[in-house]
A and B are shown apart, each in its own frame.
Chain A
Amino acid sequence: MRAVRAKTWLLTAILMVALVASLAAGGQGERGAVTIKLLGWQPGGAETWTKVAAMFMEKNPGIKVEMETVPMEGFYPKEGAYITAKSGPDIMGNNCGFETWERKDGYLDIRPRLTKEAVGHLLDTTSNHLAYDVNKPSYGISFSYQGNVWYYNKKILKAAGLDPANTPVTWDEFDRAAKAIKAIGKAPIATGVGHTIAYWIFPEIAKNFWENDKQISNFAMGNYRWSDPALANTLKYMADMSERGWFEEGAATINMQPDGFNFFLREEAAFTPSIISDAFHWKAAGDAIGHENVGAMLAPSINPKAPFARKFSGVPGSSWGITPWSKHPDEAWKFIVYFCSADLANTWLQMGGMQPNTTKFDAKINAYAPAFMQIQEIIKSPMVHTGVLNSGRELDELSRGYQEVMQGQLSVDDWIKRLNTALDESPLKKPDNPIWK
């Protein structure tokens, strides 16, 4: 009995020692190395991020980079969980505008770190500041430039008897093209109706109705309601796109954007509203259906003479900031500055197809892609991207409402009411909110 008891004690002691040793070892990782963790959706592709992280770690042997990647659809809930818990990765991505402002508790104010050496080469750092005001906190920097174009498939246009060199500019021209495309059994537009609607379709229609910058800033501050003319007309014409049968069958049921873009990649549709950087861009389209077959253009205009109608909705791409709970903010900043550096602009451009947020890049790298070269012209005339001025509540209601409107299950008037409610439930979208002062 005594022998059994002694063995039990010995075994317990061994297990305890092993447990303590493993716990002690677990926190250290590689000897002397600091591990920084990054939460993102890997805009530009996993391959590029892996390469960039490897290059950084080679240059900085004392820092180890670990990446936690989630699909864009699941990013905000994941980020929200970290912000609620006040713990998690050292670096988090985000979109500029309300997506960041509403989650500002998850980011350090990096203004003291914004030296000329670190960010002087970047085209736009203003959009990373709260309320686009450089005197207010900045929550990150962006290595890419982002915005909306429509991609088109030249093969389908030719088959429909259309000229790929003269794509539709007006609403009526597009409607005629849509009819020709449908006549050959293809869908005019491929899209999904998830939250990207607020970023990819809404601003392109809204820009036909904005009369001046003041209206846009009022929209950002919540002074401009969805029942006001510019926004009400935007919703009306978004519904019109569906009523005219421009989208692929079942578009309203697609809440995951990759599914919508894949429809275009499968050459089932002639056009797709999308973006210039990140993932659903010229490179992805060209790699799938041949770069010679892909073109890029601005969305057709309802009123081409409106002041913003033929402008490019542009904004810095994914913004990267340091979390307030990071124990290694200096190392985190070092990595952010590295992957946003001018030295890497060509790498991102070549591998990930990302439009750099700097002028220090060589566009000839991608001269093989006509769509990319068209984009270089389109972005020369930018305007504020109004999609990122939607609050989280508005963004959600835009996509849910659109799903129902497209199926004739919700009237535009009721959609407006729901969006006004969403606006009222968006605390930052109030002119008296401190962020606007």
Chain B
Amino acid sequence: MSGTFGEAGKARGRRVAGRAALGTHRRDALTGALLVLPAIALALTFKIVPLLRGIYTSLFLTQLGEAAHWNHFSNYLRMAHDPTVQRAFVNAAKVVATLPVWVVVPLVVALLIFQRTPGWGFFRAVYFMPYTIAPVIVGQVFRELLHAQGPLNELLRALGLHFLALSWLGDKGIALFSLVAVVLWSYFGLGVVTYLAGLGTISDELFDAAALDGAGFFTRMFQIVIPIIFPVMGYWTILCTSGMLVWMFPFIFAMTEGGPGYATMLPEYLVYITAFRFSELGYGTTIGVALFVFVLIFAIFQVRYMYVSGTKRQGA
């Protein structure tokens, strides 16, 4: 009898415990949902809805002085044959091709600072300072500095380096790279700080052990430092890739307005002048959607690569 009662009691106990566990599970799920709800609401309101709205707007024909009307996919067809759009995306691809410089230069500077190279404290502040200056101001200053008759060329001529006194922002062949160099100057301090944050996580004991094993500077860098901060490099690479396609606007605005001709015209600036200078909001948004897809493709590849390499490391 007691056994029967015992079994029934246990079963009841299991049911009660199960219900309690279910209740706890539900409560946890509800708490979790409540915690992520603000983030979801924000993402929906400020990311997803504008994106969908943008795609919807891209299906309208809106031209200066004309009422907007539904235009199916005409804007996309027009964009496919628009030489200005093609130039802008070719320029964007050229900018993306400079990515290794964006990744390596801050890394080298960060390593030098991390190695406590003489004056490292001073340089850490100096390198970060450009990032604190408003991009439009940076653009205006460099517009003056890089002018054909500006101070940089005057200096080069004074030093007898006439062949280097180029039309930095005027020559179609180099204007885009001058622009990229200025943006890199402005942002690479952020990269240095990002790398330093990663380097700060490396234990001194690792270096001591490596030193005891007779590892030299390069061995330490390539066998210890870079593998450890690889995720940070990945993060910075993604940030740069998407950033260099959407950070350039204030610099273009202040320095070249996309010129000479279309030499420094990038999709983000083209979106701006199409939508707001020519008041073709629909077509401007279409170019914006194309830019979004362009950035997304790079981001997907990079994030996937980071995920796969991260998983492999965890597995190892």
Contacts and interface: CB of A to CB of B under 8 A. Distances in A.
B276 A404 contact: no
B287 interface: no
Contacts of A346: none
Interface stretch (B30-38, B58-66, B237-245): B58-66
A325 to B, nearest CB: 16
A396 B273 contact: yes
Contacts of A400: 258-262
Interface string A239-251: 0000000001110
Given A101-B65, A427-B64, A404 B261 contact: yes
A254 interface: yes
A103 B273 contact: no
Contact of A81 (B148, B257, B262, B276): B276
Interface stretch (A72-80, A200-208, A290-298, A348-356): A72-80
Interface in A287-346: none
A400 B260 CA distance: 6
Given A400-B262, A407-B171, A250 B65 contact: no
Contact of A404 (B66, B257, B260, B273): B260
B281 interface: yes
From A76, A80, A81, A255, residue with most partner B Cβ within 10 Å: A80
Contacts of A259: 143, 147
Given A76-B277, A77-B272, A409-B172, A391 B257 contact: no
A279 interface: no
Contacts of A105: 65
Interface residues of B, number: 30
Contacts of B273: 77, 396
Contacts of B275: 80, 84
B64 A391 contact: yes
Given A249-B148, A253-B148, A407-B170, A73 B257 contact: yes
Interface string B231-257: 000000000000000000000010011
A81, A250, A253 — which one has the most chain B CB atoms within 10 A of its CB?
A253
Nearest to B175: A253
A435 B63 CA distance: 14
Contact of B279 (A84, A250, A256, A396): A84
Contact of B149 (A77, A78, A250, A396): A250
B108 to A, nearest CB: 32
A242 to B, nearest CB: 13
Contact of A252 (B170, B272, B278): B170
B272 A392 contact: no
Nearest to A421: B83
B169 interface: yes
Contact of B276 (A76, A194, A391, A409): A76
A309 to B, nearest CB: 30
Contact of A254 (B147, B171, B272, B278): B147
Interface string A165-196: 00000000000000000000000000001100
B167 interface: yes
Contacts of A104: 65
Nearest to B146: A253
B64 to A, nearest CB: 4
Contacts of A102: 64-65, 279
Contacts of B279: 80, 83-84, 102-103, 392
Among B65, B66, B175, B277, residue most surrounded by chain A Cβ atoms (within 10 Å): B65
Contact of A392 (B256, B261, B278): B278
Interface in B161-185: 167, 169-172, 175
A401 interface: yes
B264 to A, nearest CB: 10
B185 to A, nearest CB: 19
A275 B176 CA distance: 32
A250 B170 contact: yes
Contacts of A76: 276-277
A253 B65 contact: no
A430 to B, nearest CB: 11
Contacts of B64: 102-103, 391-392, 426-428
A256 B143 CA distance: 10
B229 to A, nearest CB: 40
A101 to B, nearest CB: 6
A259 B170 CA distance: 14
A33 interface: no
A393 interface: yes
B277 A84 contact: no
Nearest to B147: A250
Contacts of A84: 275-276, 279, 281
A102 B65 CA distance: 5
Given A83-B279, A427-B64, A253 B167 contact: yes
A427 B63 contact: yes
A253 B166 CA distance: 12
Q: Which of A103, A249, A252, A401 has the most CB of B within 10 A?
A: A252
Given A255-B256, A399-B259, A403-B261, 4 more contacts: A77-B276, A392-B277, A400-B261, A407-B170
9 contacts: A84-B281, A250-B149, A253-B260, A392-B277, A393-B278, A396-B278, A407-B167, A407-B172, A409-B261
